[in-house]
Amino acid sequence: MNVTVILADGCEEVEALTIIDVLRRAQVNVKGVSVSNSLTVKGSHGIDFNADAFFDKNEQCDMIVLPGGMGGRNNILASVPVLDKCKKMADEDKYVCAICAAPTILGRSGILNGKKATCYPGLENELNGAVIQEGDVVVDGKIITSKGPATAMKFAVELVRAIKGDDVANSVASGLLLREPLTN
């Protein structure tokens, strides 16, 4: 299974890097892709890091993941090719996942209609069509959403669970010293 993590300037570094790190610990084929004209991504808190590649709307992936951060969210919203890719993947019943401010992208794109979802507190009014939930991580079929930086590791482990199953997810969680139940 191939996973694409969308990296945009202004993204929340904790979320972006935790997702990639945890998926790689589970030996998932994951690629961080830049939506700008540079492989260097400028995080929301002044931490620069490198993407693996540039976004390619034709690249085949089974899961797309959108980290949050308001600046990152806004830069993803400005990328019509990324929005089109998310919509296409949702239409094809592939995984579309977002954390923090990024679930609002799914709401604005009509992807959350009738789906359970969560986001960063205070942005719920932008989850158009969603059945809003309070959990740290919410799974509704192939839509997985989460609240923010403090829930990034739980979110990433749920992505592993979706891809590789309970045994691998629980093993990775144990190695990360996550002890509490990971889903609501």
4 half-sphere exposure, CB direction, 13 A CA radius: 23
Which residues are paired to 36 by β-bridges? none
d(CA 87, CA 97): 12
Given the residues 11, 61, 86, 100, select the one marked as catalytic. Answer: 100
Cβ proximity of 14 and 149 under 8 Å = yes
Q: Quickly tell me which residue has 């993407």 as its tokens.
A: 51
Tell me if residue 100 is catalytic: yes
Nearest to 8 by CA among 71, 72, 74: 72
Q: Which DSSP symbol is given to 149?
A: G
Burial of 94 per CB tally in 10 Å (0-12, 13-18, 19+): middle
In the structure encoding, which two tokens stand for residue 29, read together?
């084929």
In the structure encoding, which two tokens stand for residue 100, read together?
């923090």
| Stretch (H or E) spanning 42 | strand 40-42
Known catalytic residues?
Answer: 100
